[in-house]
Each structure stands twice: as C-alpha cells, then as structure tokens.
C-alpha cells in the first residue's frame, strides 16, 4: 500500500487496502474505503472552522441522502447542523459526526513542519476523519438493518463547532436526542482504546471593556483605558487562582487591546475559559470571575459586558456500553503500518516532545480503565441525556498530541484512514450488538439514571443564549 500525502488536490487520493474483513459489515466498510478516503481528505483540505463548515456539512449530508437517509438540515437554529435517519422503530442508535477545524494552525501532510499559506485552520483534532468515519458506520448499519430485516433506527447527527462552539449542547437543548436509546461516538487519537474517561466541565465568555479615547500623551486625564480594565481583570483572576479548587483550569487570551500606543483604547476584549470536573464548581467559580470583571471596570472607570460563548458538561461514561464496544475493538485489533508508513511514522515520532507512547502501540488495544481527561467536549451534554460511549483509534502516530501539526499531517495520510476505518467498524459492530439484544440498552439506561440521581434536571452551562454562529469570524 502506497503512503500518499494529501496536498490539496482531489487527484491524490489514498489507495485502499488492508486485511480482508470477516463479516459482511466489515466488508461493506472496506468497500467504502475509497469513497470515505476521498470525503475525509476533501474535508481535511477545506479545513472549515466552527459554524462555518458549509461545504463539509453539505458533503456528509449529501453522502447520506444519496444512500437513502432522510435528512433534516439546519436543526437547532444552526445552518451547518443536520440529522440523518434510516430504518424504523426502536431502538434508536445515534452516531455523532464532527467536521470543524482548528484556527491558527496549518500543515501539509509532510512529516516535517510545513505550514500552508492558503489556509487559516487545520484539522489538528482529526474531525475530518471523525465525521467521515461515523458516516461510514451509519451507511453500514443501514445496509445491515435492511439486509437482516432487523427493527431499529440509525441516526447520524451532524454536529458543528465542537471546538469551543458547543454545537451539540444546542442540539441537546432543542430536544433532538430525547428519543435516542444510545449514542456511539469516537475520536481520532494516537492509540486504540474504549473510553471510560471523564472530562472537565467548561464555560467560556468574551469580556468586553468600554472606555474613552484620548491622546495618550497630550490628554491622558480625559481618557479611560479599556485595556486597563482588561489588565486589571486579568490580574484579579490570576490572584484568584490560589483560592480555587486545585482541579480548576482557567485560561485567557486578549483578543483586542488597541491599535496604537499613543491612542488610549476605548475598547478591549479578553476571552476566558473556566474548567473543573464538576459543573456546579464551574458555576460558582464563574460568579467570582464575573465579580472580578465588574470590580476591574469600576476601578478603571470603564464599563464591561460579558457574552457567554460556550459551556459543556463533563463526560459521563457508561460502563455497560463500554464493555460491549471494548469487546468489538479487541476482536478487531489495532492497525498495522506498511513499510512506507513506518518510515513516515518514525520521522513524525522523532519530532514529538516527550511522546507518551512508542511506535508499535498502534497495533494494540489499550486496557479499558477509568481516566480523567483534562480536556472538555460537548459530547458531555449528550452523555448526561442518553447513554453514551466513545472510543479512540490510532489515526495519528503513537504519542502525538491533539491540536498539533503532527496530528494534521498524519491525518492527511493513509495512517489516518486506517484508524478511521477501524473506528467505523467498531461502532457498526457495537450498534449491531445493541439492536440484537435490547437488554443491553435497558441496562445502559438504568446505569445512566443511577449516575444522574433521582433529582437530575438538565441545565446547560451556556444558559439560554442562541448559537454563536460568528464566534470564529
């Protein structure tokens, strides 16, 4: 199998290959590999950021429509969100598809650092593979339901803006998951594992300070600096770090601070994230952050407004579903590199800073064990609404970090495609097990109910705001 690097031309598609599958479903997904590769690499090339994934969303939705899925576009007041359905009756098994890229990082498929000047974003989290792999699994499940006469509905949720836009939260809030029995998801990674991890709850907002401009040297007494408000706010929050629970994470970036030193800025903006394993702790810490912003504005003679951008609940893993998915992943095994892929992987691995995994780990399936993920995801809100399980597959060279140029690079080669194919097969086979044994879904629902508690009421951390469709503009 040739390792071909994707450089932006549809003519350079990945060659298909791999070991012959042992089931009709695996063979079906293998037959899709050529078209799946083309779709994934087209989305990789487009690299559209959150809520602006018009082309990527349309391509995935059309692929499903062409296969006979019914499509509901623009759901939850999000133009690039959609729901695709096939089959009938229960259980309703849902798959999640993401397709947004990360701004501020670009890379070709080269094994050495090679930024792209024609793009402002890159798929450093592998969402081009994520969306396409889920679509492949959905197509295989539709085929299986029809071929076997099994009752059940398969749904593919096209979910935009996972990277800081909380697209799924608006879909949960709109009730789009209310009749779903189980959700199967996956994420690109540098290893193969079934995730029984938790994550951090997360809320973000843009704090906008408004002051009064004047000549910084000739008339400073007539000015009130919006940038002073931002800096005073940041200082107060940094002091607060000593007095929050140790699991807390607070990060910020000044997105606007003025244009010229001799003009006192009348507008400045800072973008904040607050994370903690517990959503209620995030809410309490956020009240103190809000108070610091008001205090900074009062102390600098400015005015401040805050716009909540996104909010995610922590992941709530489901052990019942995890056991089923892990069994399927173990049976399928990991991925194997060709000689060319191995040489490429060695070059990538040599560029990593303190890699946590070794070459060869892509061939294995990691033991299933509870972990605490220091990141955040809008899959969290889904997992508190419907029994949900997620797996990772080795779409990147072992030890690669998400949000890195190395992740973009490997995701643009056959290495990424091999991991995507493994994920599609694992999800499809897991779903077949759920359709075939309704007691599994019942047990998964009981586990979710017990974990949430009898008094649980869903309350999104982003409140009642509308989707921030322009947050990446």
146-164 CB burial, b ≥16 within 10 A, e <16: eeeeeebbbbbbbbbbbbb
Preceding peptide of 91 cis, ω within 30°: yes
Identify whether 12 is part of a domain.
no
Q: Are residues 179 and 68 in the same domain?
A: yes
Residues 6+ apart with CB under 8 A from 1: 15, 17, 18, 338, 340, 341, 414
362, 394 contact by CB (below 8 A)? yes
361, 397 contact by CB (below 8 A)? no
For residue 20, the model assigns a pLDDT of 38
Identify whether 386 is part of a domain.
yes
Largest CA distance in the chain: 82
Q: Are residues 184 and 234 in the same domain?
A: no
For residue 373, the model assigns a pLDDT of 85
Q: How far apart are CA 176 and CA 157, in angstroms?
A: 9
Q: How far apart are CA 344 and CA 234, in angstroms?
A: 43
pTM: 0.92
Q: Are residues 106 and 75 in the same domain?
A: yes
The residue ranges of DSSP E strands in 266-398, in sequence order, are 267-276, 303-312, 388-394
Q: Are residues 298 and 237 in the same domain?
A: yes
Number of domains in the chain: 2
**Domain of residue 334, CATH code:** 3.40.630.10
Q: How far apart are CA 69 and CA 143, in angstroms?
A: 11
Q: Are residues 178 and 321 in the same domain?
A: yes
Identify whether 466 is part of a domain.
no
Q: How far apart are CA 427 and CA 168, in angstroms?
A: 19
Q: Which of 167, 140, 131 is nearest to 43 (CA)?
A: 131
Identify whether 465 is part of a domain.
no
Q: Give the bridge partners for 122, in sequence order.
A: 102
Give the range of the structural domain holding residue 122, as residue numbers without chain letter: 24-199+314-452
**Domain of residue 301, CATH code:** 3.30.70.360
Q: Are residues 350 and 430 in the same domain?
A: yes
- CA atoms within 13 A of residue 436's CA, in its CB half-sphere: 10
For residue 356, the model assigns a pLDDT of 87
Q: Are residues 164 and 229 in the same domain?
A: no
Identify whether 6 is part of a domain.
no
For residue 195, the model assigns a pLDDT of 84
Sign of CA dihedral 329, 137, 126, 180: negative
Domain stops at, among 260, 287, 312: 312
For residue 371, the model assigns a pLDDT of 84
Q: Which of 224, 285, 228 is nearest to 251 (CA)?
A: 285
In this structure, what token pair is assigned to residue 148?
């076997």
For residue 402, the model assigns a pLDDT of 96
Q: Give the bridge partners for 202, in sequence order.
A: 275, 312
pLDDT (tens, 9 = 90+) of the chain, 473 residues, equals 344 444 333 333 333 333 333 699 999 999 999 999 999 999 999 999 999 999 999 999 999 999 999 999 999 999 999 999 999 999 999 999 999 999 999 999 999 999 999 999 999 999 999 999 999 999 999 999 999 999 999 999 999 999 999 999 999 999 999 999 999 999 999 999 998 989 999 999 999 999 999 999 999 999 999 999 999 999 999 999 999 999 999 999 999 999 999 999 999 999 999 999 999 999 999 999 999 999 999 999 999 999 999 999 999 999 999 999 999 999 999 999 999 999 999 999 999 998 989 999 999 999 998 888 888 999 999 999 999 999 999 999 999 999 999 999 999 999 999 999 999 999 999 999 999 999 999 999 999 999 999 999 999 999 999 999 999 98
Identify whether 156 is part of a domain.
yes
In this structure, what token pair is assigned to residue 116?
């792209």
The β-bridge relationship of strands 267-276 and 152-158 is: unpaired
For residue 339, the model assigns a pLDDT of 97
For residue 2, the model assigns a pLDDT of 40
- CA atoms within 13 A of residue 205's CA, in its CB half-sphere: 21
In this structure, what token pair is assigned to residue 220?
């400073």
Look at residue 83 and give its three-state secondary structure: strand
Identify whether 422 is part of a domain.
yes
Q: Are residues 105 and 246 in the same domain?
A: no
CB atoms within 10 A of CB 364: 17
Domain stops at, among 258, 277, 312: 312
Q: What is the DSSP string of 128-193?
A: HHHHHHHHHHHHHHHHHHHHHT--EEEEEEE---TTTS-HHHHHHHTTTTTT-SEEEEEEEESS-E
Domain stops at, among 312, 347, 362: 312
Identify whether 468 is part of a domain.
no
Q: How far apart are CA 183 and CA 383, in angstroms?
A: 8
The β-bridge relationship of strands 249-256 and 267-276 is: antiparallel
């Amino acid at each position: 199998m040739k390792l071909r690097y994707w450089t932006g031309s549809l003519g350079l598609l990945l060659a298909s290959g791999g070991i012959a599958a042992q089931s009709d479903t695996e063979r079906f997904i293998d037959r899709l590999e050529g078209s799946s590769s083309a779709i994934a690499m087209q989305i990789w090339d487009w690299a559209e950021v959150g809520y602006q994934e018009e082309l990527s969303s349309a391509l995935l939705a059309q692929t499903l429509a062409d296969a006979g899925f019914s499509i509901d576009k623009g759901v939850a007041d999000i133009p690039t969100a959609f729901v695709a359905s096939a089959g009938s009756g229960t259980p309703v098994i849902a798959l999640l598809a993401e397709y947004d890229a990360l701004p501020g990082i670009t890379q070709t498929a080269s094994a050495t650092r090679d930024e792209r000047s024609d793009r402002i974003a890159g798929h450093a989290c592998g969402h081009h593979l994520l969306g396409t792999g889920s679509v492949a699994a959905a197509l295989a499940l539709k085929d299986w339901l029809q071929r076997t006469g099994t009752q059940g509905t398969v749904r593919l949720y096209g979910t935009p803006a996972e990277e800081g836009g909380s697209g799924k939260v608006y879909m949960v809030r709109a009730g789009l998951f209310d009749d779903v029995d189980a959700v199967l998801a996956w994420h690109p990674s540098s290893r193969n594992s079934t995730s029984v991890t938790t994550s951090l709850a997360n809320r973000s907002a843009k704090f906008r300070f408004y002051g009064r401009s004047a000549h910084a040297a000739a008339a400073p007494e007539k000015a009130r600096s919006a940038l002073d408000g931002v800096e005073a706010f940041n200082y107060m929050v940094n002091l607060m770090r000593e007095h929050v629970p140790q699991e807390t994470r607070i990060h910020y970036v000044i997105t606007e601070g003025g244009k010229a030193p001799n003009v006192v800025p009348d507008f400045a903006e800072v973008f904040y994230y607050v994370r903690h394993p517990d959503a209620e702790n995030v809410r309490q810490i956020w009240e103190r952050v809000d108070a610091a912003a008001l205090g900074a504005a009062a102390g600098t003679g400015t005015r401040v407004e805050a716009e909540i951008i996104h909010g995610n609940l922590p992941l709530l893993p489901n052990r019942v579903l995890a056991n089923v998915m892990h069994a399927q992943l173990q049976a399928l095994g990991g991925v194997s590199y060709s000689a060319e892929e191995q040489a490429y992987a060695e070059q990538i691995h040599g560029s990593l800073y303190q890699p946590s995994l070794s070459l060869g780990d892509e061939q294995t399936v990691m033991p299933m064990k509870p972990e605490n993920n220091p990141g955040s995801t809008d899959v969290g809100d889904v997992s508190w609404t419907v029994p949900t399980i997620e797996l990772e597959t080795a779409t990147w060279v072992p030890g690669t970090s998400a949000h890195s140029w190395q992740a973009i690079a490997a995701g643009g080669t056959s290495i990424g495609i091999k991991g995507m194919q493994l994920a599609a097969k694992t999800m499809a086979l897991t779903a077949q097990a759920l359709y075939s044994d309704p007691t599994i879904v019942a047990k998964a629902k009981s586990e979710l109910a017990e974990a949430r508690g009898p008094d649980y009421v869903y309350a999104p951390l982003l409140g009642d705001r509308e989707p921030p469709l322009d947050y990446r503009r």
